Structure 1
Amino acid sequence: MMRYEELIQNFSWEETRKHYEGNPDGEFNMAIEICDKWADDPKRIAIHWEDESGNEEVWTYKELKEKTNQMANALNAWGVKKGDRVAGLLGKDMELIITIIATMKVGGTYVPLFTAFGPDAIMHRTSDSGVSLLLTNKEQKSKLDELNTSFDTFLIDDLTKDGQTFWEFVDSFSNEYEVEKIHGDDPAIIQYTSGTTGLPKGAIVKHKGVYSLFPYFRYGLHVEEDDVFFGGADLGWAYGLVACTIGPLSLGAEVVLYHGPFNPEKVFQLLEKYQVTSFAYAPTAYRMMMATGIDRIKQYNLKVRKFSSAGEPLDGEVVKFFKEHFGREIYDHYGATETGMIVNNYNILDMEIKPGSMGLPIPGYTIELIDNQGIPVKKGETGQIALDTSDGKTAFGGYWENPKKLQEKMINNWFLTGDLAKQDEDGYFWFQGRADDVISSAGYRIGPTEVEATLNEHAAVLESAVVGKPDKAKGEIVKAFVLLNENYEPTEELEEELSLYVRNKLSKHQYPREIEFVEEFPKTQSGKTQRFLLKKREQEQLR
């Protein structure tokens, strides 16, 4: 099997172009690349859809092309034209998938929304992007009933003004459509960031994003045409929409979409039922799957040969468990809304997996760890993960109507992710935390993630978050907030045991001098712990 060095040396953007119908530097419509180009084979399956009630649908690429053509005509009839923004506030509904692709076909821009958003979050995104049409259902629409909205609303579970259901309305249009001519640099998606600090910003994904992200789809996930791909992330977030849906479709694979809440038992059932070969989910899901117990897991006949994870650091115990019982480690991937997945463990390689490591930089791009002056740091030193944007290859098209915010994230040609990492002697990256999460204690710069990873290995700990607490003598001390597993009680003895555990396993300067047991953590809508709120609380208590 190929080595990483060969992967880097052999990669060619010119070769990558051959996988696409359009010209990334000219006419290029994402809808053609993820749908129409695969529709000539009437038997090629695009999507297996299922909901928690057991309803099932199988969609071929041909059917997907025809239905999205009808929806494109329907959008035009609704008044949606090239350049307009269309938002979707739904779960993994086929009506949503159809509308996303159709929006691209008419030359519009799709704005993803998460169903857990409240009215303020929805209104900020729809107002900031200037949405003209929102696709949703009655339950979600009720969040906006008391508000003045400037966009039209199309409900998938209600009748149109002419008394038609959603599908009756769509089916009343022709299944022939001439896809709008779009430039590869035009916006296909406006994906709003999680907003851990300040209001969320609309990160533009270009139409040529499927070309720009090919190295991740092909090498990180290692999507192949004969794959059955199942990704658990919600379509309201970049990883669920772009990595787990658009990516596999762009390479002609089959995608499993499950419309229902996460349940480890149900996941195993779906993996077996659809003979899934490639599976991607967040670390929390993998931990819950592991907790099901190997005896229960062994009852399933699984064909998965590629496991991927993203969203937060993956602890070593889970990786080891999957290696031992499934014969394959989970390959951890790192990225950001703006950059895509740029540091990865590559499923296309039989590479050494170092549990807890983000992996190695992606082919086709220049990724460095830099200091505050934009100078790469030495190996072993902590620096901010940065992407060189000078070649114009990236999928990121800046922030929607907010060039000032983009400039704040740039040093020369480097786009700053805001994440810190170290690089070991083999070139592997190790996540150290957010740039604004670094703890300065007695002259040491301490990344919280490493401390959290060690704490999480203790049997008593379900989850932890580490921040710097202001201290007169040291500047800051390491403080840990800990959520305990069932059957463990918060005691002074356990607090001392956990501090000693980290000190013995990690170092004498990184262990938490103070531990607070909590019932929950403040989190973003996408499930990321907001350390800055915990730190802010510590700072306010000293005033």
Structure 2
Amino acid sequence: MEVKSLGDVHLQINGWLDRYNSSHVDVAALLCDRHDPQKRTLNFESAAGRVESLSYGELQEKSRRFASVLRGLGIEKGDRVALLLPKSPELLIAAVALWRLGAVYIPLFTAFGPEAVAVRVEDSGAKVILTDNTNRPKLNGVQGRSIVNIDDREGQNVGEDIPFHASLNRADPLDENTSTDGKDMLVLLYTSGTTGQPKGVKVPVHALATFESYMRFALDVREDDMFWNMADPGWAYGLYYGLLGPLLLGQTIMYYQGAFDPARAIDIMRRYEITNFASAPTAYRVFRSAHLGKPEGLKLRVASSAGEPLNPELYHWARETLGVELFDHFGQTELGMAICNHHHPALSRSIKPGSMGQAMPGFRVVILDDHGNEQDDGVEGHLAIDRHASPLCIFEEYYNAPDRTAERLMHHGRYYLAGDNASRDHEGNYFFSGRGDDIILSAGYRIGPFEVESALVHHPAVAEAAVVGKPDDLKGEIVKAYVVLKPGQEATDALKEELSLFVKQKLAAHAYPREIVFVDQLPKTPSGKIQRFLLRAQA
């Protein structure tokens, strides 16, 4: 249907909910088999020079064969299959193959060490693990699982592991896909675990409605778009909206396997005529710091950002350099994307720099006080989702962790607590002020670190900044900043004073950093989020 109004949006969402929450959902047909077999499903390049592509027809044929391999290894509906793989054609084939069997996808980010891998494999009960030679040593301590190695290409040795390509080529294609219920688990994805052991997030099949809503109404991915989400599929944004979302829409996925390089990224945008681009703020900051000038020949129509708050000055940079508005979005592994600056014409509004946007249709977002009471506009509090009024909210519980589930829910499960502090203006725009435990209390003032960080990175000498509270006998806490300088900048006491004054003048007299430390890099999670708790421990 053609969507022209908010009413049309809700009708469309209700239709997807009906489709994906039924008792008979053929996930592989939705993601692959129903699409034009001649259309390209993947463009792949690696830093090492490997270039490949797949059509939807080829994906269907190869994934049917690998599904037979998995069935021969004992994989049935509901079983877990873990993928410790970089972006690659094999990852895509394996993912669709396991969904043909109604199995559950366990993403393992390739930056994980052996302990992080082992925790997730043991907790999930994964029966089969796919990996490559680079990541294989991380599995040396893992027992009782079948290990499939994708590096049997061109005669490479995979030892005693099951060879991916040879097994696939010998197998007969699976005849019939396994039907699933909308409430069955599609993915078991573990949070980064920055405040404790990682938590397994159960992602149901009906979450496909949430993913399609975001792809169409926030990212505004259209049939003629060439879409590129740079995020890694080992994490939520890259899996939900760089793999599942594009497959739902019959889009072509772009995978680049290699370290992020701004010049290479621009080159890929130009050569593949990318029209719709999504990444984390870190990538846009690196683009900005690289001083590449205004790229010629780009065909960008949409640029989006997610994963952490977007510094306001990046809006102006994107408009001037990329020639498009930059749209900020908020979400979590547990939710998908819930607050967005929507690009779709039926929902679009003027962007307010610094705002995460408005609630996605299908979500009721509220601000709560410490007692769980909903707050008025303009009052800062705890960001939460009213689950009873949010049909697109996918969070039900953490896997095998009822106590940790209870920590996230309030008022008999009505509200899901995001763990972030925020406020909402009278137009329905939400403004992030910090993680619940990141707020700095100084001389009676509540200072959100993000505001101070945004002010610091606006200074021409600063590449990145992180702000925490340091205990102080007089004020309770003072603002302490850890700053990464741009190349060529000299770390001096004079520059520290200049930055403090800059923030005092730009932001507020009470919020400027009274201590500044220059560092080479900031501690981050594998998905690029700043780990302020480590900096607080140092402070």
Give the TM-score normalised by structure 2.
0.93
CA contact (8 A) 1:7 1:363 kept: no
The alpha-carbon deviation at position 23 of structure 1 amounts to: 4.4
Quote the residue 2:111 is aligned against: 116
Taking a change above 3 Å as real, the CA distance of residues 19 and 390 of structure 1, as seen in their structure-2 partners, is: closer
Taking a change above 3 Å as real, the CA distance of residues 227 and 80 of structure 1, as seen in their structure-2 partners, is: same
Taking a change above 3 Å as real, the CA distance of residues 34 and 367 of structure 1, as seen in their structure-2 partners, is: same
Aligned runs of 1:429-508 on 2, under 5 Å? Answer: 429-508=430-509
CA contact (8 A) 1:383 1:420 kept: yes
Quote the residue 1:516 is aligned against: 517
Q: Does 1:64 align with 2:59?
A: yes
The alpha-carbon deviation at position 485 of structure 1 amounts to: 1.8
Q: Which moved more, 1:253-262 or 1:431-440?
A: 253-262
Q: Which moved more, 1:346-355 or 1:433-442?
A: 346-355
Aligned residue for 1:498, secondary structure, equals: helix
- From 258, 261, 264, the equivalent of 2:262 is 264
Question: Which letter maps to 1:419?
Answer: D
The alpha-carbon deviation at position 287 of structure 1 amounts to: 2.1
The alpha-carbon deviation at position 22 of structure 1 amounts to: 4.2
Alpha-carbon distance between aligned partners in 2 of 1:532 and 1:8, rounded to the nearest angstrom: 41
Quote the residue 2:212 is aligned against: 214
Alpha-carbon distance between aligned partners in 2 of 1:393 and 1:272, rounded to the nearest angstrom: 35
- From 319, 322, 327, the equivalent of 1:323 is 319
The alpha-carbon deviation at position 307 of structure 1 amounts to: 0.5
The alpha-carbon deviation at position 318 of structure 1 amounts to: 2.3
Taking a change above 3 Å as real, the CA distance of residues 81 and 323 of structure 1, as seen in their structure-2 partners, is: same
Q: Does 1:155 align with 2:149?
A: yes
The alpha-carbon deviation at position 494 of structure 1 amounts to: 1.6
Q: Does 1:77 align with 2:72?
A: yes
Deviations 1:126-181 (A, max 9, x none): 01111111100122111232x24231111111467899852231122223431112
Q: Which moved more, 1:420-429 or 1:505-514?
A: 420-429
The alpha-carbon deviation at position 215 of structure 1 amounts to: 2.2
The alpha-carbon deviation at position 363 of structure 1 amounts to: 0.8
Quote the residue 1:34 is aligned against: 31
Aligned residue for 1:139, secondary structure, equals: coil
Q: Which moved more, 1:344-353 or 1:199-208?
A: 344-353
Alpha-carbon distance between aligned partners in 2 of 1:373 and 1:7, rounded to the nearest angstrom: 37
The alpha-carbon deviation at position 10 of structure 1 amounts to: 4.0
Deviations 1:335-391 (A, max 9, x none): 111011111111214531222221111111101111122222222221121112225
Q: CA RMSD in A?
A: 2.2
Quote the residue 1:386 is aligned against: 384
Q: Which moved more, 1:475-484 or 1:391-400?
A: 391-400
Q: Does 1:128 align with 2:123?
A: yes
Alpha-carbon distance between aligned partners in 1 of 2:405 and 2:215, rounded to the nearest angstrom: 26
Taking a change above 3 Å as real, the CA distance of residues 207 and 180 of structure 1, as seen in their structure-2 partners, is: same
Quote the residue 1:102 is aligned against: 97
Aligned residue for 1:142, secondary structure, equals: helix
Quote the residue 2:301 is aligned against: 305
Which ranges in structure 1 are unaligned for 5 or more consecutive residues? 539-543
CA contact (8 A) 2:482 2:519 kept: yes
Alpha-carbon distance between aligned partners in 2 of 1:178 and 1:131, rounded to the nearest angstrom: 23
Deviations 1:389-432 (A, max 9, x none): 22554233421121221111011211111011122343221111
Aligned residue for 2:437, secondary structure, equals: helix
The alpha-carbon deviation at position 478 of structure 1 amounts to: 1.4
Q: Which moved more, 1:512-521 or 1:117-126?
A: 512-521
Question: Which letter maps to 1:218?
Answer: R
Aligned residue for 1:11, secondary structure, equals: helix
Alpha-carbon distance between aligned partners in 2 of 1:91 and 1:313, rounded to the nearest angstrom: 26
Quote the residue 1:186 is aligned against: 184
CA contact (8 A) 1:30 1:210 kept: no
Alpha-carbon distance between aligned partners in 2 of 1:262 and 1:517, rounded to the nearest angstrom: 24
Question: Which letter maps to 2:498?
Answer: E
Alpha-carbon distance between aligned partners in 1 of 2:14 and 2:27, rounded to the nearest angstrom: 14
Question: Which letter maps to 2:470?
Answer: K
CA contact (8 A) 2:113 2:138 kept: yes
Aligned residue for 2:536, secondary structure, equals: helix
Question: Which letter maps to 2:324?
Answer: R
